[in-house]
Amino acid sequence: YKWDEDGKLVAKVYVAEVSSGAKFETLAEAFDAAAATDTVTLLADCELNTQYALTKNITLELNGKTLSKDVAKSADGKNKMIIVQGGATLTVDGSVEGSTVKGGLYAGVSATSFGTIVANGGSYYPAEGKDDCAFQSNGNAQSGAGNTITITDAAIYSANDIAVYLAGAGTY
C-alpha cells in the first residue's frame, strides 16, 4: 500500500517485473533496476511519458499489454519513447496476442551513439496525439557504423506515410 496525492491509502499497482522477480510501479524504474541482459515483463498496461535512454541490453516482454506514450502528458511533446543507444539492444517480445506499443522506438541518437531494436511480434503505433513513425533510426553514413532494426511478425501502423524512418547508416 501507499499514500496517494489525496492522502488516501491505496494498493500499489505494479506494471513491470524484472528477471529477479522485483516488481515496479513504473517501467522506467524497472529499466533502471534491470541488469544487462535481464527481461522486463509488463504486468499491466502502462505509460512511459518521458524519453527513456536505454543503454543496456534488455528484453521487454509486452505480455499482451499496451505500452504507450501520451504526448499531451509528456513534457517534451515528442513521439520518442525509448531511445536505444550506447551500443545497447532492446528486444521487444510481442508474441502474446494484444501486445502493443504506442510510441516511438528509436535506434541511436547521434552519429556516435548507436543502438539495436529487435521487434518480434506485436502491434506498433506512433505516440497518442502525434502523427509520427513507430520506429526510427538516427545515424550518420560517414561514421562507418550504424543502427540495426529488425522487425519480425509485427504490424506497424501510422496515420501518415512514414511508419518506419531510417536515416543514416545501419542495417534494416
| Residue 6 neighbours by CB distance under 10 Å | 6
User: What's the chain's length in residues?
Assistant: 172
The whole-number pLDDT of residue 144 equals: 47
Give the C-alpha separation, 134 to 122, whole Å: 12
Per-residue confidence (pLDDT) for residue 142, from 0 to 100: 47
pTM here is: 0.88
Q: What is the structure's pLDDT at 161? A: 67
For residue 172, give the C-alpha cell. Answer: 534494416
Rounded Cα gap, residues 15 and 1, in angstroms? 15
What pLDDT was estimated at residue 152?
96
Q: What per-residue confidence (pLDDT) applies to 171? A: 57
Residue 99: which of 135, 64, 59 has the closest Cα? Answer: 64
The pLDDT tens digits along the chain (172 residues) read 788 888 888 888 999 999 999 999 999 999 999 999 999 999 999 999 888 999 999 999 999 999 998 777 777 777 789 999 989 999 999 999 999 999 889 888 766 678 999 999 999 998 877 667 889 887 655 444 678 889 999 999 987 767 887 776 555 5
Per the CB < 8 A criterion, the answer to whether 153 and 120 are in contact is yes
Q: Which residues contact 17 (CB under 8 A, 6 or more apart)?
A: 23, 24, 30, 40, 41, 43
